[in-house]
Structure formats: structure tokens, C-alpha cells
Amino acid sequence: MHTRASRLAPQESSIAQDHCTDSYSYGSTASKMLLNANTALLSPKILLVPYEPHHVATYNSWMQDEAILEATASERLTLDQEYQMQRNWRKDGDKLTFILCLPPANVASIPTGANLETLSPPIASEPIVANKHDVPEVMIGDINLFLSESHDELPLNDRGMLGKRRLVGELELMIARKEFQGQGYGKAAVLLFLLYVVVRREEIVQKFGEDSVLEYLAVKINQVNERSIALFTSLGFKKTKEEPNYFGEFELVLKDLDVVRVFGLLRLYGLERSRECEYVYKSE
């Protein structure tokens, strides 16, 4: 399910910084995919944080596992190569990456009730602190978005896409720690990530130009990974074909990127207390 093609050919781009304050509200943001440089996504089930240097050693240890390498179609990297890859991911404008962590112990006390009029969850009162809330002991996986141009034929009834640079966002999810697989962490991560993507899609695609639009999301899953297929199907993704491709994968796509629908799914799965919050470094 997690192809990791980008591990083999990292791309360079200019660096920009983003400092977020209000949860899921549009404002001044980075011009590259450092959009999430100072942003964490928090729910009672899962915490998503930017991929930072202090995560690399743990991530690299995961990627020494033969089963994970096979499942993610990845090559084994040295620790130095992994640090270089992390730097490239953080600077590349067509990628968006979060590390998945168990949430802080006090997250159950956060208020309920997303505001469906402003399409905003509650604003976080306390930041997520790097090297405190995302130490190796609570890291469990990662989730990514890779943008590319769509070459699909434009439906005749979709005139709003005419003249636009249409983009596809390919999702990749990995729950690396086996003891946390099959317990709902993957679904919680995808839902929280989906909310971030659909709310901030205009900012996410801006590297490709003002005429760019995110047409749909896609995920490729090995045909034998029935659990992952069921996860994405439950969130509205649909198979593009009934037979797997040459590599034994099904492609599933989500074309309904309506934010209200995503909020409904968060409520359905008990994740309505999700919020975006500041991710900070604090001196000792």
C-alpha cells in the first residue's frame, strides 16, 4: 500500500516556512510543501506531526524490516541516506508527509463539536512540542501525499475543470509497528489527513500554478491486502477496475472531496474532536 517511490529519486526545491495559528482556516502559508512545517493534526486516536530529523533514526529502523521493504516497494537506505531523504521530502513541493504518533495522554479532555458553519474544529489551546509528544516510543508509522498531473480524459459534464491543470494526489499509509496494526489507527490517520488535504487543497497545489486544481485522490494497494482495501473502501474510495494491474495492485480513487462529507466521517468514527494545532520546538 505504501510504494515509497520517492525514496529512490528525491527532488530538490526552494524552502519556505509556514506558521499556523487558527485551525483549518485559510491564511498566509508557505509556497512549497512546507505548508505543514509548524502544523500538527490531533485527534483522540492519533497524532500527526511533520517529518523532522529527530524521527529519522526510528524511521530508518522500520525500513530495515524485509516485510516492510517488500510491502512498500522500497530500497534499504543507510542512516545517512535516510537523513538526506528526509531533507528532500521536507523541501519538495509535490509531497506532503506526516509521522503518525500515539496522542498525548490528556487528549481525551479536548472539547467536542466541530463548527460546521465555518468548517473548523476547535482551536488548540496548547501546542504539540517536538521531542516531547513525538518521541520514538510513540511513533507508529507515516502518511504521505504525492502530487502529479492527471492525464485522465475530462468528463463531458465536468466543465469546471476546463483550462485547469488537473492534479492527482496519491496517498500512502504505513503502520510500521505490528502491535498497532488492525486497531483503527490507520483509518484515524487517513481521516485526519483527508480533512487537512480537502480544507487546504488550494494551498497544497499552488506549486503547480494558480490554475491548478486537485481533481481526486488515489491509493494503490496490493491485491492480497484485504484489510487496507476495506479501510479505504469504508471511506468512500472506489476501485477503478475489478482486476488488479500488472503489479498485482488495485487502484482506488476518491473524487468526492467535500469537506462536510469528511466531517461526517469523522463524527461517524468518533473523531469529531480532531483539530489542527501548532507544532513547536522548545528549548530545555
What digits encode the pLDDT tens for the residues 67-101?
A: 888 887 789 999 999 999 998 887 787 889 999 99
pLDDT at 88: 87
Per-residue pLDDT of 194-232, as tens digits, reads 999 999 998 898 878 778 899 999 999 999 999 999 999
pLDDT at 94: 85
Asked if residue 169 lies in contact with residue 254, where contact means CB atoms within 8 angstroms, the answer is no
pLDDT at 13 exceeding the cut of 50: no
- Residue 173 exposed, middle or buried by CB count within 10 Å (0-12, 13-18, 19+): buried
Per-residue pLDDT of 45-66, as tens digits, reads 999 999 999 999 999 999 999 9
pLDDT at 29 exceeding the cut of 80: no
pLDDT at 178 exceeding the cut of 60: yes
What residue numbers bound the domain in which 54 lies?
A: 5-280
**125 or 117, higher pLDDT:** 125
pLDDT at 162: 62
Neighbours of 97 (CB within 10 A): 21
Helical spans, DSSP H, in 47-177: 56-62, 66-72, 79-91
Per-residue pLDDT of 243-264, as tens digits, reads 999 989 999 999 999 999 999 9
**36 or 229, higher pLDDT:** 229
pLDDT at 165: 86
In sequence order, which residues have a C-beta less than 8 Å from that of residue 160 and are 6 or more positions away? none
CATH of the domain at 40: 3.40.630.30
**Average pLDDT along the chain:** 81
pTM over 0.75: yes
Identify the CA nearest to 261 among candidates 116, 110, 96, 48. Answer: 116
- CA torsion, ordered 215, 244, 89, 28, to nearest 10 deg: 20
Domain count, the chain: 1
